[in-house]
């Protein structure tokens, strides 16, 4: 690793400096022939990074961690985690590095992080590498989530390494440059708690408060306030996932952030046909992380966070447990309120309507969608037209026409706002068959389908001519979708 001759950007190494117990200084593996596959120019600019510089040979070396500013201290972060319910005391960045924090134009710090940058001391049996397909997949889906207005880590670039990586077959290697409000995870707190070092735990909590939940610092019990704040942002995040039909796929506690951003896009997918039992991950055989289970899993993960924070919540353990239980209990209420409010908004329903009218309306609609295996995204988008009196497109998607007609009549009597609906119900989502098509082409060296897909997804609510194929459900021939963990 060399120093960057002209440091155009200031990398802070706060986490590396302040949490030496959880950060192993490490270097990215040398790449001899890096090739830029995709660069997020708007995001680069927001971060004060010159896109032309990033495209230069020296800039590419920065993007993959092969040359970093002199003041930067790349580290592999330690964390623990419950994976499919089983506790792993030492996970950590096996193939990732935190380069440091830089300032975004919004005045908040962002982590610059690499995925696929080589083995670290946390690599266990892994090769430390990543391949083009899954890294582009994270790029596409995370940027789509961002455009949808859903909190998420972002993707700055994917750089091909020119090196072959052994998976089921040999595949081209790549490094993803990821940008996050931070990489603090529930698993980071599990790790700090397991060290038995309460001072470390407290410092980590203080860091999380400063970086993500500053209002908690004013509270009488700041660590309880931190926990409540994480519950609030996660309840809101989960509601947004559910409302848009997103299945994360691997909601282990190490894949859940303290900031409330979606993180770690592995075997994730958007639903086509509405199916509460939808699972796409090839390794999730029991359906633990199925669509309908996501809020319950989030609550379970937050209970693990509560356990980690117990010593900070109260000196008396019984009272600490009482506070934690009460706080976790808030998650359901907040999640349900956020989901119901979001669903009413998707239906264009005005505020102040009686729940006794709207609640059964929502329930009946969900049953109708499930029964008819209706394409979730297309249906809500067409419903905007139904609000304008043109019900045929939505009607054409359902099975039980009589039930639909009766439902529409009751719904339209509430005078739904079609313009609001069009601003909330996306027309372009990263449909699985389109994502797979773009990744396969990119893996073979053709980046055009990826570029076109990214363009469509960048403005998901704005219908544009010529993009019809990005709105349709997968053809029958695509079959049942299975995706493999993000390797």
- In sequence order, the 6+-apart residues with CB closer than 8 A to the CB of 443 are 132, 133, 171, 172
The CB-of-431 to ligand AMP minimum distance in angstroms stands at 23
Say how far apart CA 28 and CA 455 lie, in whole Å. 31
Closer Cβ to ligand AMP, 91 or 424, answer by number: 91
Indicate the burial class of 326 (C-beta count within 10 angstroms; 0-12, 13-18, 19 or more).
exposed
379/398 Cα distance (integer angstroms) = 9
Can you tell me the distance from the alpha carbon of 252 to that of 255, in angstroms, rounded to the nearest whole number? Answer: 5
Rounded to an integer, what distance in angstroms lies between the CA atom of residue 435 and that of residue 21?
39
> Checking DSSP bridges between strand 246-247 and strand 269-270, what pairing results, if any?
antiparallel
Least distance to Mg ion from the beta carbon of 181, Å?
Answer: 16
Number of residues that bind Mg ion (CB under 5 A): 2
Whose Cβ is closer to ligand AMP: residue 167's or residue 314's? 167
N residues, the chain = 487
Distance CA 248, CA 254 (A): 13
211 binds, among Mg ion, ligand AMP, none (CB under 5 to 8 A by kind): none
Q: Which is nearer to Mg ion, 265 or 339 (CB)?
A: 265
Q: DSSP states of 18-43 as a string?
A: HTGGGEEE--PPP-SS-EEEEE-HHH
Name the binder of 360 from ligand AMP, Mg ion, none, CB < 5-8 A by kind: none
**Rounded Cα distance, 114 and 179, in Å:** 9
Measured from the Cβ of residue 107, the count of other Cβ atoms closer than 10 Å reads 6
Which residue carries 């509270």 as its tokens? Answer: 219
Name the minimum Å distance from CB 93 to Mg ion: 9
Q: Which of the choices ligand AMP, Mg ion, none does residue 260 contact, using the CB cut-off of 5 to 8 A by kind? A: none
Residue number, 178 or 213, with CB nearest to ligand AMP: 178
Q: Which does 485 bind (CB under 5 to 8 A by kind): ligand AMP, Mg ion, none?
A: ligand AMP
Residue 486 touches which of Mg ion, ligand AMP, none (Cβ within 5-8 Å per kind): ligand AMP
Question: Among residues 249 and 384, whose Cβ is nearest to ligand AMP?
Answer: 249
* 192 binds, options Mg ion, ligand AMP, none, Cβ within 5 to 8 A by partner type: none
Q: Are 270 and 246 spatial neighbours (Cβ–Cβ below 8 Å)?
A: yes
Query: What is the DSSP-derived secondary structure letter of residue 3?
Result: E
CB of 255 to ligand AMP, least distance (A): 5
Binding mask 402-441 for Mg ion (x = CB under 5 A): ----------------------------------------
Q: Residues interacting with ligand AMP, by CB under 6 A?
A: 91-96, 122-123, 126-129, 250, 254-255, 264, 266, 485-487
Hey, is 165 helix, strand or coil? strand
Q: Tell me the closest approach of the beta carbon of residue 162 to ligand AMP, in angstroms.
A: 18
Nearest approach in angstroms of CB 190 to Mg ion is: 13
Contact 19, 204 (CB under 8 A): yes
Q: Which two tokens stand for residue 206?
A: 């203080």
91 binds, among Mg ion, ligand AMP, none (CB under 5 to 8 A by kind): ligand AMP
Binders of Mg ion among residues 246 to 265 (CB under 5 A) are 255, 264
3-state secondary structure of 438: helix
Select which of 93, 199, 206, 254 is catalytic: 254
What character string, x for contact with Mg ion (CB under 5 A) and - otherwise, covers 278-307? ------------------------------
**How far apart are CB 117 and ligand AMP at their closest, in Å?**
10
Query: Among all chains, which residue has been given the structure tokens 């039992």?
Result: 277
Q: Is 236 in the site for Mg ion (CB under 5 A)?
A: no
In the bound state, the residue with its beta carbon closest to Mg ion is 264
Cβ atoms of 15 and 23 closer than 8 Å = yes
- Min CB(131)–ligand AMP separation in Å: 9
With CB under 5 to 8 Å by kind, the binding choice for 129 among ligand AMP, Mg ion, none is ligand AMP
Nearer of residues 190 and 255 to Mg ion, judged by Cβ: 255
Active site residue 93: no
Which entry of Mg ion, ligand AMP, none binds 266, CB below 5 to 8 A by partner kind?
ligand AMP
Closest separation in Å from C-beta 397 to ligand AMP: 35
> Quick one: 8 or 195, whose CB is closer to ligand AMP?
195
What's 474's DSSP letter? P
Selection from 34, 41, 28, 36 nearest residue 1 by Cα? 28
Distance CA 98, CA 177 (A): 10
Q: Which C-beta is closer to Mg ion: that of 83 or that of 370?
A: 83
Rounded to an integer, what distance in angstroms lies between the CA atom of residue 365 and that of residue 408?
10
Q: Which residue shows structure tokens 């083009």?
A: 132
Q: Output 84 or 357, the one with its CB closest to ligand AMP.
A: 84
What's the CA gap between 462 and 83, in Å, rounded? 38
Under rule CB under 5 A, which residues in 65-94 are in contact with Mg ion?
none
Paired sense of beta strands 109-115 and 96-103, if any: antiparallel
The contact set with Mg ion (CB under 5 A) reads 255, 264
Catalytic residues, by residue number, are 254
């Amino acid at each position: 690793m060399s120093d960057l001759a002209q440091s155009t950007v200031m990398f802070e190494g706060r986490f590396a400096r302040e949490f030496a117990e959880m950060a192993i200084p490490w270097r990215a593996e040398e790449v001899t022939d890096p090739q830029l596959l995709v660069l997020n120019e708007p995001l680069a600019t927001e971060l004060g990074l010159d896109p032309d510089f990033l495209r230069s040979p020296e800039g590419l070396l920065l993007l993959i961690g092969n040359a970093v500013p002199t003041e930067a201290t790349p580290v592999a972060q330690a964390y623990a985690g419950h994976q499919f319910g089983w506790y792993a005391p030492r996970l950590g960045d096996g193939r990732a590095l935190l380069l440091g924090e830089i300032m975004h134009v919004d005045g908040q710090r962002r982590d610059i992080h690499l995925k696929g940058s080589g083995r670290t001391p946390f690599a266990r049996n892994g090769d430390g590498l990543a391949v083009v397909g899954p890294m582009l997949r994270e790029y596409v889906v995370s940027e789509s989530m961002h455009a949808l207005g859903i909190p998420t880590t972002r993707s700055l670039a994917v750089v091909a390494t020119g090196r072959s990586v052994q998976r089921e077959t040999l595949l081209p290697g790549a490094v993803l440059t990821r940008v996050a409000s931070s990489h603090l995870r529930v698993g980071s707190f599990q790790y700090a708690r397991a060290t038995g070092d309460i001072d470390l735990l407290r410092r980590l909590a203080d860091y999380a408060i400063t970086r993500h939940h500053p209002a908690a610092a004013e509270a009488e019990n700041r660590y309880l306030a931190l926990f409540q704040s994480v519950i609030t942002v996660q309840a809101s995040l989960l509601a947004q996932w559910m409302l848009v039909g997103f299945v994360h796929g691997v909601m282990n506690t190490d894949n859940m952030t303290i900031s409330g951003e979606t993180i770690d896009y592995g075997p994730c997918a958007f639903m086509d046909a509405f199916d509460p039992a939808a699972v796409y991950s090839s390794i999730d055989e029991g359906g633990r992380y199925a669509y309908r289970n996501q809020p319950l899993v989030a609550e379970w993960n937050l209970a693990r966070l509560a356990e980690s924070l117990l010593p900070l919540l109260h000196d008396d353990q019984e009272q600490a447990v009482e506070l934690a239980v009460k706080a976790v209990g808030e998650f359901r209420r907040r999640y349900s309120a956020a989901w119901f409010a979001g669903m009413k908004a998707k239906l264009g329903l005005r505020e102040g309507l009686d729940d006794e009218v709207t609640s059964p309306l929502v329930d009946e609609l969900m049953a109708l969608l499930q029964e008819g295996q209706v394409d979730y995204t297309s249906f809500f988008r067409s419903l905007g037209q139904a609000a304008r009196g043109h019900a045929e497109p939505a009607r054409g998607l359902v099975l039980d026409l009589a039930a639909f007609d009766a439902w529409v009549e009751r719904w339209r009597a509430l005078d739904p706002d079609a313009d609001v609906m069009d601003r909330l119900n996306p027309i372009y989502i990263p449909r699985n068959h389109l994502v797979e098509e773009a990744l396969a082409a990119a893996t073979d060296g053709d980046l055009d389908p990826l570029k076109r897909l990214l363009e469509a997804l960048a403005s998901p609510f704005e219908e544009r001519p010529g993009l019809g194929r990005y709105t349709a459900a997968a053809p029958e021939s695509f079959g049942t979708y299975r995706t493999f963990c993000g390797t």
